[in-house]
Chain A
Amino acid sequence: DAGVIQSPRHEVTEMGQEVTLRCKPISGHDYLFWYRQTMMRGLELLIYFNNNVPIDDSGMPEDRFSAKMPNASFSTLKIQPSEPRDSAVYFCASRRRDRGLILPKMNTEAFFGQGTRLTVV
């Protein structure tokens, strides 16, 4: 497998413009996570999905941020309108739950994409 694939790798946009970040998780992984990394705050979870359903979006900073997962192999994170303080590196990650258990456990590795470096000027 090619790993988690994110696009674009770099995005420079003007304040007020719409930005869409894309992610293709590893095939067979049940969970998909969107993280944001800044120098000040480190890695913060924005939202995560289980089987394409959003489970926890408490980290989404504002209504300007939205995320979708229309199918198991694709997710988007959209910022509209973008602001300079949104400048950061955005990571997508995926992991699968343990198999064969009644209650799912998460004793599996999470794998990250290469990230999208977003600059809003």
Chain B
Amino acid sequence: KQEVTQIPAALSVPEGENLVLNCSFTDSAIYNLQWFRQDPGKGLTSLLLIQSSQREQTSGRLNASLDKSSGRSTLYIAASQPGDSATYLCAVTRSGGSNYKLTFGKGTLLTVNP
């Protein structure tokens, strides 16, 4: 059974700092890993999708890396801003068979202080 873990559960940083969020998964047989952002009381917004054949994906100040063999992904946020404050979730889609569900971690609550 795939398990996804995100560390730390919460992170508080001053504005302007670069930061890294971590995601690990137990089963390396995945199609892809997706990072989401969730604001309080809102839905999930897709940030980046990184396929199993890729090592990195970038979007603006965000950079996601994937090391499938070790079961790890990181989300790097450069020059953090108060508007980046949210919960960040990672989710994997397992490969093989026909089960295309996403399995989620419990998220990292990020607070960027002005």
Contact = CB atoms under 8 A, between A and B. Distances in A.
Interface residues of A, number: 27
Given A105-B31, A109-B49, A55 B43 contact: no
A113 B34 contact: no
A91 B104 contact: no
Task: Bin chain B's interface residue count.
Answer: 20 to 34
Given A110-B46, A112-B44, A45 B31 contact: no
B5 to A, nearest CB: 11
Contact of A107 (B32, B46, B102): B32
The B interface, classified by DSSP as helix, strand, loop or mixed, is strand
Contact of A109 (B34, B98, B103, B106): B34
Interface string B20-61: 000000000001101010000111111001010000000000
B111 interface: no
A45 B98 CA distance: 15
Contacts of B100: 31, 48, 50, 95, 97, 104, 106
Interface of A: 4, 31, 33, 42-43, 45, 48, 50, 55-56, 91, 93, 95, 97, 104-115, 117
Given A106-B100, A112-B44, 11 more contacts: A33-B101, A43-B89, A45-B102, A56-B101, A104-B98, A104-B100, A105-B31, A106-B31, A107-B31, A109-B34, A109-B49
Interface of B: 31-32, 34, 36, 41-46, 49, 51, 89, 91, 93, 95, 98-107
Complex A-B, nearest 4 residue pairs according to Cβ-Cβ distance, in ascending order: A112-B44, A43-B104, A114-B43, A42-B106
9 contacts: A4-B43, A42-B105, A91-B43, A93-B102, A95-B100, A107-B32, A107-B49, A112-B44, A114-B43
